[in-house]
């Protein structure tokens, strides 16, 4: 296993750099494809969220891999390599596994313990599978990360410490008031209809907003979301993105999370909306229960709402940057230590399974060679003793098979045990050298194994392997 992670997150880089380094979906696809085209990488995928971008790859050479992946991140994000490098972190082999498992459990999230990251890890795996850039290592790794994350949430109280970025953001807007009390009776505008926006719309609907408007570039998607919430809020409706400016003066709460590369709400738009809102209040047309201050929650990266909103009277803006500052002051839950213990155990188990799997093709190739030797000797025996009857021939064949099986059993079992220990990868090389195994035969078994073909059978079947490869190889 030569797993390499190169990335940056809210822990290593300021939001201003993260904002510039964010990638649209098509850019992520191109980054993964270019990573695989680079010589050091044989597998690749990218994990991109609102506060991190990480490139995962199986590389042949560490230093060359770091240099190539760092360069590709700079090229595709448009941030100069000299500027980007100080904020990049690198994890290799077991440390890389530990990092992803920690991310999956929410330990590396801006809001510790949040569970939305599991969906984003699933998306990263799906991207690698769709592009055929995720092979055995990344498939095993990401599938196991999902299981570890689910285990942490089911076996510990990390959920009590963690919450979604949406909930945390709304709590920051509400201050000391419970979100349900703060949101009740307000009119909300949600811009975007993706997973984060959908969560925001659902949270606001359950909190008791009086009206909920969902704006999206794809109107049908906004309509489906609005229809799904009609049981929670009577005033749920969908509008096209062009209607945002018209809806803005009537909104008490605005949540925005789109994939736009530019600002969705500019300072001029917000100023005009505040002026129109003031006119409505003066005319008495604003209606009862209208909040004096408009609450803005920007969960997009890059940002959707102009940072100038912080300076406009009548607005209260919470964005990724302010959320990062607030999250840094949050106390860690006691369950975090338990989750860390789970991660450490899972990393050790995953590493042992991967090291054991590394030697399996060599063991299979050895068993196959032994089967070929037995078949060849039985064929020569038939030539020298053509008068043997079927019973005699079968008895001799079974005897030879048992002898070979017994001679190979102890060393092959022991070498698989040794291979699961740190530094155990060298036992596969020793086995190939001692028995003069054909490297192409070992590679053929590896390719068949990576494609999901099971290698099983016994020494007595010519050309078949005598051991079964574990279908759960690489899983802890």
The span from the CA of 370 to the CA of 459, in Å, is 7
Long-range pairs for 371-375 at CB < 8 Å and ≥24 separation? 371/457, 371/458, 371/459, 371/460, 371/461, 371/462, 371/463, 371/464, 371/465, 371/466, 372/462, 372/463, 373/404, 374/400, 374/401, 374/404, 374/459, 374/460, 374/462, 375/462, 375/463
Backbone angles phi, psi at 48, to 5 degrees: -125, 125
Instruction: Provide the 3-class DSSP secondary structure of residue 213.
Output: strand
Please give the Cα distance from 154 to 82 (Å, whole number). 42
As a whole number of angstroms, the longest Cα–Cα distance in the chain is 114
Does the bond joining 302 to the residue before it have cis omega, within 30 degrees of 0? Answer: yes
Q: How many CB atoms lie within 10 A of CB 242?
A: 10
Query: Cβ distance 122 to 115 under 8 Å?
Result: no
Is the separation of the CB atoms in 225 and 193 below 8 Å?
Answer: yes
**Would you call 10 helix, strand, or coil by DSSP?**
coil
Q: Hunting for tokens 């073909």 — which residue is that?
A: 453
Would you please indicate which residues are annotated as catalytic (active-site) residues?
50
Token couple for 286:
């604003």
Alpha-carbon distances, residue 153 vs 105, 117, 121, 161, 257 (angstroms): 7, 12, 15, 11, 26
Q: Is the alpha carbon torsion for 149, 154, 160, 166 positive or negative?
A: positive
Given strand 41-49, what is the order of strands in its sheet?
41-49, 52-59, 3-9, 89-92
Contacts of 468 (CB under 8 A, 6+ apart): 454, 455, 456
Q: Give the SS3 label for residue 326.
A: helix
Residue with tokens 């296993």: 1
What is the C-alpha separation between 145 and 101, in angstroms, rounded? 5
In 385-425, which ranges are continuous DSSP H helix? 390-419
CA 146, CA 144: separation in Å to the nearest integer?
5
DSSP β-bridge partners for residue 53: 8, 48
């Amino acid at each position: 296993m030569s797993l390499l992670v190169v990335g940056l997150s809210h822990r290593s880089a300021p939001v201003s750099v993260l904002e510039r380094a964010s990638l649209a979906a098509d850019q992520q696809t191109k980054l993964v494809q270019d990573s695989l085209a680079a010589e050091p990488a044989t597998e690749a995928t990218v994990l991109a969220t609102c506060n991190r971008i990480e490139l995962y790859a199986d590389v042949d050479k560490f230093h060359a891999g770091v240099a190539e992946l760092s360069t590709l991140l700079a090229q595709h994000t448009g941030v100069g390599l000299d500027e980007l490098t100080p904020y990049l972190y690198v994890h290799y082999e077991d440390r890389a596994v530990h990092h992803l498992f920690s991310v999956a459990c929410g330990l590396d999230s801006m809001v510790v313990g949040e569970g939305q990251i599991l969906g984003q890890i699933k998306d990263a795996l799906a991207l690698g599978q769709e592009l055929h850039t995720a092979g055995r290592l990344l498939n095993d790794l990401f599938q196991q990360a999902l299981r570890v994350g689910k285990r942490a949430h089911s076996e510990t109280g990390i959920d009590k410490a963690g919450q979604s970025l949406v909930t945390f953001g709304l709590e920051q807007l509400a201050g000391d008031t419970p979100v349900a009390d703060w949101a009740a009776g307000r009119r909300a505008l949600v811009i975007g209809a993706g997973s984060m926006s959908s969560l925001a719309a659902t949270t606001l609907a359950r909190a008791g907003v009086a009206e909920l408007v969902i704006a999206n570039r794809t109107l049908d998607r906004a309509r489906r979301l609005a229809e799904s919430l009609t049981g929670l809020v009577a005033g749920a409706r969908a509008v096209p993105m062009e209607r945002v400016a018209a809806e803005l003066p009537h909104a008490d709460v605005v949540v925005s999370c789109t994939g736009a590369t530019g600002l969705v709400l500019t300072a001029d738009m917000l100023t005009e909306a505040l002026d129109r809102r003031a006119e409505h209040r003066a005319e008495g047309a604003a209606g009862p229960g209208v909040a004096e201050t408009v609450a803005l929650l920007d969960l997009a990266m890059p940002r959707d709402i102009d940072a100038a909103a912080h300076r406009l009277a009548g607005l209260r803006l919470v964005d990724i940057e302010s959320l990062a500052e607030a999250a840094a002051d949050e106390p860690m839950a006691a369950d975090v230590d338990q989750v860390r213990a789970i991660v450490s155990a899972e990393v050790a188990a995953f590493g042992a399974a991967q090291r054991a799997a590394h030697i399996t093709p060599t063991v299979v190739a050895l068993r196959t060679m032994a089967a070929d030797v037995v078949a060849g000797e039985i064929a020569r025996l038939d030539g020298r003793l053509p008068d043997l009857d079927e019973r005699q021939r079968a008895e001799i064949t079974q005897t030879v098979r048992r002898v070979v099986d017994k001679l190979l059993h102890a060393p092959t079992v022991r070498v698989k045990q040794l291979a699961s220990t740190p530094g155990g990868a060298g036992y596969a090389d020793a086995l190939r050298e001692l028995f003069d195994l054909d490297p192409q035969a070992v590679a053929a078994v590896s390719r068949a194994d990576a494609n999901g073909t099971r290698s099983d059978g016994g020494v007595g079947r010519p050309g078949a392997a005598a051991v079964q490869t574990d279908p759960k190889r690489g899983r802890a």
